[in-house]
Amino acid sequence: MKLALGAASIVTLGAASSAEAAKPKTPFQLEPTYIPIANSSEQFPVRRIYCIGRNYAAHAREMGSDLTREPPFFFQKPTDAIQFVAPNKIVDHPYPTLTKNYHYEVELVAALKTGGKNITIDKALDHVYGYALGLDMTRRDLQRFMGDQKKPWEIDKSFDHSAPIGPIFPVIKIGHQKSGSISLSVNGEVCQKANLNQMIWSVAEQIVKLSEANELFPGDIIYSGTPENLGPVVRGDIVRCMLDGFPDLVIKIV
């Protein structure tokens, strides 16, 4: 039985048993985070969650930037922010504490099978295992307040359930997602709509830039940015995310 992804990162039960024996004793156990792989019994183990900001020109202007090719900037979410949303189901998503202005951001997510440092653009996509549809949920009022105070705004991005995501579809099945309609509706009304080819920084370029700052590893995932027309949701709202070729991701704010 295989526990991981592919030839570059397969872990067999025997190897896992040896690794378990070598682990130090700890006072308690922490559960790792996994994302189901579509049409498979395998799970994708998540190491880090990277997110890029302002990666569609209209959204960059919406957030106060007039530059369409400013240097990319990234932030992270904790792995346990993942909330898996199964296809063809409406999953309850809890409205978080400390906010009165809770926003949606629909995004393509790239999942890496291999990593490295200073990855070149011609090799960048070779590191991608697959893609998923995700949401970067944001406590917008906290983001703006912390920004005005010139303080880190991690609190508005890195909270429980802030990274809803659907199953990961392997590249070998669907190819690389360089274009295609991505959209989001709230209670049936379309709020966000764009094409993946409108990203300022492509997935390949994001991998290059991230690998200049950090060594990337198998299990890293990248939320690749959201289109314009962000807005708030309240309890009872149904949020539907759509991406060409992918099952819809649907949550209900509760």
190-220 tens-digit pLDDT:
999 999 999 999 999 999 999 999 999 999 9
Residue 24 maps to a domain: no
pLDDT band at residue 153 using 50, 70 and 90 as cut-offs? confident
| Residue-range definition of the domain harbouring residue 40 | 34-253
pLDDT of residue 71: 86
Give per-residue pLDDT as tens, 23-76: 789 999 999 999 999 999 999 999 999 999 989 876 556 655 665 577 899 999
The number of domains in the chain is 1
Q: Is residue 177 part of a domain?
A: yes
Does residue 22 belong to any structural domain of this protein?
A: no
Residue 98, Cβ density class (10 Å: 0-12 exposed, 13-18 middle, ≥19 buried)? exposed
Token output for 102 = 């809770």
Question: What is the SS3 assignment for 173?
Answer: helix
Spatial separation of the C-alpha atoms in residues 5 and 15, rounded to whole Å: 14
CATH number of domain containing 48: 3.90.850.10
pTM to 2 decimal places: 0.89
Q: Is 2 part of any domain?
A: no
